[in-house]
Chains A and B, each alone.
Chain A
């Protein structure tokens, strides 16, 4: 059994917590996010022949009200970045955040989840931008916390990247 620490990052309101809520084994309440700034969940999955346990550190959003505690990032094996597809600004902020994280932590496998895929009408991020990110090495998956779409896939892809 391999364990990996994964950090869930994104600005406030992009739906990080809701995204994983129904896919993980949870023990701590969400109030930890506002008090301690982190909530730890657990996700078991199988990659190829190997059982992997992802310890998912759901970090409080980085904004004016709450500063990201970078010490929580220590020892992480991968990142699940989350942005809100209906608010392009969250992606901009995320790209900044990613750069900051990589500066302090160094590069690590990551996935970008563009959340709220169910709200297609309000979508602000066009395919061209997504293609652009892809050429820069971003793996982008459109997810919907509401419908539960592609969330498992995002975890599996990240685990796969971390193990190889």
Chain B
């Protein structure tokens, strides 16, 4: 089309008859030829010029190339095979030189390709998982499990083999002339049998078959079967494919194998023809061969038949049994835990435990009343206490914690006391009031589990009130006495008290715990006071007598009659003070009269006083009668009434001179 459009620009000179033209042929023949073939010659020249012009030719090819490729691609893929090495080389070269171009170009699609690939893998995985699940509880599945156990294969492998329609397991490409393996691909990863030797033997067997049955060199063994395996051979001129197939492959597989070996011959024809033992050049065919490793599984076989009711019911029953076993196991586990916990409790000894699956469970044993409530333990172990019948017999446990608990119940200790039990010895530390420890010392060893009490480390306190209570309980507290506890455990007494009480207190008060000293300076001894007072009254009394007589004068008698009460009080108080006093009655006479007469008179006067006092009820031995006569006078004796008297002296004999 383009050439036509160019025509007008190329001037063609017109030639007329009889008119000589430049570069005209000189011979006639030439002229005739020129006349006859002028148009064709020109066309030929044009065509030659056209062909010589490379650019023009490229132009022409480019115009028909798309259609040519379209036509060619319909013919068995020859064009594809022819172009493949070039295109592959170009792509590889391009990737080597400028990988970023390919990365940019592939980037938009690579993500979705990867996603699809992953989705496909997951789908396959899911399918295999589904199959496995379906077979797990079915009758067929059990059979296959048994088979797996018998043959040493995994269950998955047996499932796969049994639901397999066919699978191309290995593919050998073998050089026909040398019988050497050109390439070997296998569906299973890992080392298989030695491909080289297999290839050799496969060739040998083919030769053997051919020779044995004398079928001629072109005939070939096409397939043979060994148990579950069969070997299909797809022949080619220089090489052939041997496919090891498990199961029953469809005929299409043969077509695939034949197409593959043809394609191999197209791409590697010369390499195959001159093959001398180096198979490295055929490695590039691996993807093509791997494409032949096909497999097909029978979904209906693997999924359909075994969906019956029996396996389902079996699965359900099995499921129920498993669930019941799990529940039962967990219940038993809880029960065992509970019994263990119970038995570990201080104060609880389980002698009998029966786990009732339907009836009530029963536990019997010994239980200290102080021990933890078993129902509480049951609740903590997630058991219902209502479902357990407890039969406990009371006993006193000797577990230290329970012994201490018992001790605390009997003698609630103050917060300042720490109690511990060591081999039956109750050790008390800290501090406590005396009134708490006293009963503990006595009573604690009577508690089961306590042999003795060790309180040497216990600091004992003495609060005043209980000390005073103990004091008054022991000695009584007279009305006139006020008692307090001062520093250094000193009992301070104030007021007045009898001598006897005081003496008792002085002797005994320190025996009272909490009293170390006694301060009684502020206490008046009532007996001592009475004694002093009455003694003074008695000794200051004068009993006057009539002149020269032992009869009392009036005022003398009055004085005397006042004395018995005083004497009684004096004697009583002296007695209480521990004295045994004697009252001397001293009789006196005035100076008138003679000396002997006066002595007698004074004696009689003293005796008269004694007689009076004895008459008043006093024991005579309390008195000592003395006649002291008259006072010695110088000159003429004057009758003095004051001399006609009797007087007293309280003599303490024996005993201290003064109270």
Stretch at the interface among B274-282, B501-509, B580-588, B617-625: B274-282
Are B280's CB and A27's CB within 8 A? Answer: no
Are B207's CB and A72's CB within 8 A? Answer: yes
**A61-74 interface mask toward B, CB cutoff 8 Å, 1 = contact, 0 = none?**
00000000101101
Stretch at the interface among A32-40, A114-122, A141-149: A32-40
Stretch at the interface among B192-200, B441-449, B515-523, B606-614: B192-200
Q: Can you name 26 A-B pairs with beta carbons within 8 Å?
A: A2-B276, A3-B279, A5-B179, A5-B180, A5-B200, A5-B277, A25-B194, A25-B197, A27-B193, A36-B201, A36-B208, A38-B201, A40-B201, A55-B179, A55-B180, A57-B204, A71-B207, A71-B211, A72-B207, A74-B177, A74-B179, A75-B175, A75-B177, A75-B178, A76-B178, A77-B276
Contact of A2 among B179, B181, B197, B278 (CB under 8 A): B278
- Which residues of A have CB within 8 Å of B280? 1
The count of A-to-B residue pairs whose CB atoms sit within 8 angstroms is: 75
Are B277's CB and A3's CB within 8 A? Answer: yes
Closest residue on chain B to residue A24 by CB atoms: B197
**B residues 181-236 with Cβ under 8 Å of A?**
181, 193-194, 196-198, 200-201, 204-205, 207-208, 210-211
Cα(A25)–Cα(B179), bound, Å:
18
Are A3's CB and B208's CB within 8 A? Answer: no
Cα(A36)–Cα(B205), bound, Å:
7
- Which residues of A have CB within 8 Å of B279? 1, 3
User: A28 an interface residue at 8 Å Cβ cutoff?
Assistant: yes
Contact of B197 among A28, A37, A71, A75 (CB under 8 A): A28
Please judge, given known A-B contacts A5-B179, A55-B179, A69-B207, whether A41 and B277 are in contact too, CB under 8 Å.
Answer: no
List the interface of chain A (C-beta within 8 A of B). 1-5, 25, 27-28, 32, 36-38, 40-42, 53, 55, 57, 69, 71-72, 74-77
Are A71's CB and B200's CB within 8 A? Answer: no
Contact of A3 among B196, B198, B210, B211 (CB under 8 A): B196
- Which residues of A have CB within 8 Å of B177? 74-75
- Which residues of A have CB within 8 Å of B207? 69, 71-72, 74
Task: Please indicate which of the listed interface residues B198, B200, B211, B280 has the most CB atoms of chain A within 10 Å of its own CB.
Answer: B200
Are B194's CB and A42's CB within 8 A? Answer: yes
- Which residues of B have CB within 8 Å of A1? 278-280
Are A37's CB and B208's CB within 8 A? Answer: yes
Are A57's CB and B200's CB within 8 A? Answer: yes
Are A77's CB and B277's CB within 8 A? Answer: yes
Please judge, given known A-B contacts A40-B204, A69-B207, A71-B207, whether A3 and B197 are in contact too, CB under 8 Å.
Answer: no
Cα(A122)–Cα(B210), bound, Å:
42
With both chains docked as a complex, state the minimum distance between the C-beta of B401 and any C-beta of chain A, in angstroms: 79
Excluding A32-B201, A76-B178, 10 further A-B contacts by CB distance (< 8 Å) are A2-B276, A3-B196, A5-B277, A27-B193, A27-B197, A28-B197, A37-B208, A42-B194, A55-B197, A77-B277
Task: Please indicate which of the listed interface residues B176, B177, B196 has the most CB atoms of chain A within 10 Å of its own CB.
Answer: B196
Cα(A41)–Cα(B204), bound, Å:
12
With both chains docked as a complex, state the minimum distance between the C-beta of B506 and any C-beta of chain A, in angstroms: 124
Q: Could you tell me how many residues of chain B have their Cβ less than 8 Å away from some Cβ of chain A?
A: 25
With both chains docked as a complex, state the minimum distance between the C-beta of B278 and any C-beta of chain A, in angstroms: 5
- Which residues of A have CB within 8 Å of B205? 36
Are A75's CB and B179's CB within 8 A? Answer: yes
Contact of B178 among A5, A27, A28 (CB under 8 A): A5
Cα(A76)–Cα(B177), bound, Å:
8
Shortest beta-carbon contacts, A-B, top 9: A75-B178, A40-B200, A75-B177, A71-B207, A3-B277, A2-B277, A38-B204, A3-B180, A27-B197
Are B211's CB and A41's CB within 8 A? Answer: no
Please judge, given known A-B contacts A1-B280, A40-B197, A41-B197, whether A72 and B204 are in contact too, CB under 8 Å.
Answer: yes
- Which residues of B have CB within 8 Å of A41? 197
- Which residues of B have CB within 8 Å of A25? 194, 197
**B residues 77-94 with Cβ under 8 Å of A?**
none
With both chains docked as a complex, state the minimum distance between the C-beta of B46 and any C-beta of chain A, in angstroms: 57
Closest residue on chain A to residue B194 by CB atoms: A27
- Which residues of B have CB within 8 Å of A28? 197, 201
With both chains docked as a complex, state the minimum distance between the C-beta of A90 and any C-beta of chain B, in angstroms: 24
With both chains docked as a complex, state the minimum distance between the C-beta of B209 and any C-beta of chain A, in angstroms: 10
Task: Please indicate which of the listed interface residues B194, B207, B278, B279 has the most CB atoms of chain A within 10 Å of its own CB.
Answer: B207
Cα(A37)–Cα(B193), bound, Å:
21
Closest residue on chain A to residue B279 by CB atoms: A3
- Which residues of A have CB within 8 Å of B178? 3, 5, 75-77
- Which residues of A have CB within 8 Å of B201? 28, 32, 36, 38, 40
- Which residues of B have CB within 8 Å of A3? 178, 180-181, 196, 277-279
Contact of B210 among A53, A57, A71 (CB under 8 A): A71
Cα(A69)–Cα(B212), bound, Å:
9
- Which residues of B have CB within 8 Å of A5? 178-180, 200, 277
With both chains docked as a complex, state the minimum distance between the C-beta of A36 and any C-beta of chain B, in angstroms: 5
Cα(A10)–Cα(B175), bound, Å:
26
Are A53's CB and B196's CB within 8 A? Answer: yes
- Which residues of A have CB within 8 Å of B176? 75
Cα(A85)–Cα(B175), bound, Å:
36
Cα(A141)–Cα(B239), bound, Å:
36
Cα(A28)–Cα(B280), bound, Å:
26
Cα(A134)–Cα(B193), bound, Å:
41
Are A55's CB and B278's CB within 8 A? Answer: no
With both chains docked as a complex, state the minimum distance between the C-beta of B377 and any C-beta of chain A, in angstroms: 72
Please judge, given known A-B contacts A71-B210, A75-B177, whether A55 and B204 are in contact too, CB under 8 Å.
Answer: no
With both chains docked as a complex, state the minimum distance between the C-beta of B199 and any C-beta of chain A, in angstroms: 8
Cα(A27)–Cα(B191), bound, Å:
14
With both chains docked as a complex, state the minimum distance between the C-beta of B166 and any C-beta of chain A, in angstroms: 26
Are B208's CB and A55's CB within 8 A? Answer: no
**B residues 247-285 with Cβ under 8 Å of A?**
276-280
With both chains docked as a complex, state the minimum distance between the C-beta of B181 and any C-beta of chain A, in angstroms: 8
- Which residues of B have CB within 8 Å of A75? 175-180
Cα(A67)–Cα(B381), bound, Å:
89
With both chains docked as a complex, state the minimum distance between the C-beta of A49 and any C-beta of chain B, in angstroms: 14
- Which residues of A have CB within 8 Å of B175? 75
Cα(A69)–Cα(B181), bound, Å:
21
With both chains docked as a complex, state the minimum distance between the C-beta of B201 and any C-beta of chain A, in angstroms: 5
Are A42's CB and B196's CB within 8 A? Answer: yes
Cα(A55)–Cα(B199), bound, Å:
10
With both chains docked as a complex, state the minimum distance between the C-beta of B281 and any C-beta of chain A, in angstroms: 12
- Which residues of B have CB within 8 Å of A76? 178
- Which residues of B have CB within 8 Å of A36? 201, 204-205, 208
Cα(A4)–Cα(B200), bound, Å:
11
- Which residues of B have CB within 8 Å of A74? 177, 179, 207
- Which residues of A have CB within 8 Å of B210? 71
Closest residue on chain B to residue A50 by CB atoms: B278
- Which residues of A have CB within 8 Å of B200? 5, 40, 55, 57
